[in-house]
Structure 1
């Protein structure tokens, strides 16, 4: 596994708009629909990454603690499903349900969202 430095956007940057398939509900959702006026956490994750697997439980706990306080959480996977079939939308949905994700898990098929956010690795 190669070490890739996170290149996240600076805090306070206006979030680039996006729309993507929520694999849990099978609906297309936008940032405008999902964002919170208080704070929005956007996480680039995937099913197979050992670093994501390591923090999954903490992410769910954190989301469950802060969603009731008005903070939105959005998970996005931008992985190439030909290279990583375990990250397909069907597998994303199964994974999200197994892990008890209380937030949408969006599929960025074109990787345009990841590029707009300068996401370089998972978790980012």
Structure 2
């Protein structure tokens, strides 16, 4: 598994819009459709990445804890499914069902959305405030497969709490580390 870091795009960047198909409902969603009253978390994941498998339970806990508090949530997979068929939309549906996703899991077939966000790895997290400005990009927490650090979601949770309680999000943010997005050739 290749260890790739987030690109750490500039804080304050406006949320890119998208129009992608949800693999659960077969409906199309835009950023506005996924937007929360107080903020929006967009995260790039895929079905097969060991880094995603390591953190998926905590991602679900974060989603369940914060969706009810006005944070919109959406997951996006942008991997090349010709080279990585385990990330196909059909298997995305299964992955979402098995992990009890209560948020859209969108398929970025053209990879244009991942490029617009500056996504580089899975998982890669982007938190926007209620003005659709980027306030956090980076890691869930310091836990990685095999490093023995328990999952807590502390970095991402701290940023979301700051958005919810109108505090400044700490600008010292660590990049996420995961498998690289599988770009089309």
The verdict on a shared fold, with TM-score over 0.5 as the criterion, is: yes
Q: How does 1:64-103 map to 2 (within 5 A)?
A: 64-103=64-103
SS state at 1:55 partner: helix
Q: Quick check: 1:17 aligned with 2:17?
A: yes
Query: What TM-score, normalized to structure 2?
Result: 0.65
- When residues 7 and 42 of structure 1 are mapped into structure 2, their CA distance, relative to the original with a 3 A threshold, is same
Q: Which has the larger radius of gyration?
A: 2
Provide Cα deviations, 1:23-57, integer angstroms capped at 9, x if missing partner: 00011111111112311000000000000000000
Paired residue for 2:158? none
Q: Distance in 2 between matches of 1:12 and 1:43?
A: 17
Q: Distance in 1 between matches of 2:9 and 2:71?
A: 19
Paired residue for 2:43? 43
How far the C-alpha of 1:99 sits from its partner, in A, is 0.3
Question: Paired residues, what number?
Answer: 124
Q: Distance in 2 between matches of 1:15 and 1:37?
A: 15
SS state at 1:81 partner: coil
Give ranges in structure 2 of 5+ residues lacking alignment.
125-185
Query: What TM-score, normalized to structure 1?
Result: 0.96
Q: Distance in 1 between matches of 2:54 and 2:123?
A: 10
SS state at 2:93 partner: helix
Structure number with the bigger relative contact order (C-alpha 8 A, sep ≥ 6) is: 1
SS state at 2:97 partner: helix
